[in-house]
């Protein structure tokens, strides 16, 4: 008999929060708003109830969270310096983990080179620095 522990509501919320981080902080640094709209249409990093069934145990949800956090960390370092093959392999491994759980992430690390033509401060996807109350 094998005992499995279901993922928690907090883990599912953390996964959604990390996916939102890609659209509000990561993608606007590298891609135009038009490209990000296409990402939505292509359902890149899109989750459904079925996805949460795929990573329905504590271990699986933790793997997804860890993979998302690792990719975010690699991209953060990648902005500041050129990465060696270890990080390229680590990026690829974590992308493969996401795809095993049904999360579509069709990018390579080379696609995340800083793009000087992208104006991130005026992207519709970046979060506002402050809110005006009316």
pLDDT by position in tens, the chain (length 134): 555 566 678 888 999 999 999 999 999 988 999 999 999 999 999 887 666 666 667 788 899 999 999 999 999 888 777 778 899 999 999 999 999 988 999 999 988 876 655 554 556 666 655 565 55
d(CA 125, CA 36): 8
Share of the chain above pLDDT 70, in %: 73
Averaged pLDDT score across all residues of the chain? 82
d(CA 28, CA 31): 5
Confirm if 91 and 109 have CB atoms less than 8 A apart: yes
pTM: 0.79
d(CA 8, CA 28): 30
Q: For residue 95, what pLDDT is reported?
A: 97
Tokens 């996401």 appear where?
Answer: 98
Following CA atoms 104, 109, 114, 118 in sequence, which dihedral angle do they give, to the nearest 10 degrees?
-20
């Amino acid at each position: 008999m094998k005992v499995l522990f279901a993922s928690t509501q907090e883990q599912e919320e953390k996964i959604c929060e990390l996916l939102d981080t890609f659209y509000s902080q990561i993608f606007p640094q590298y891609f135009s708003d038009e490209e990000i709209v296409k990402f939505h249409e292509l359902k890149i990093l899109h989750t459904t109830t079925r996805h949460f069934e795929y990573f329905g145990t504590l271990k699986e949800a933790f793997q997804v969270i860890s993979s998302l956090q690792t990719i975010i960390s690699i991209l953060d370092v990648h902005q500041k310096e050129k990465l060696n093959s270890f990080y390229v392999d680590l990026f690829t491994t974590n992308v493969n983990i996401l795809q095993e759980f049904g999360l579509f992430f069709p990018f390579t690390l080379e696609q995340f080179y800083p793009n000087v033509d992208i104006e991130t401060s005026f992207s519709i996807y970046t979060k506002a620095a402050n809110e005006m109350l009316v």
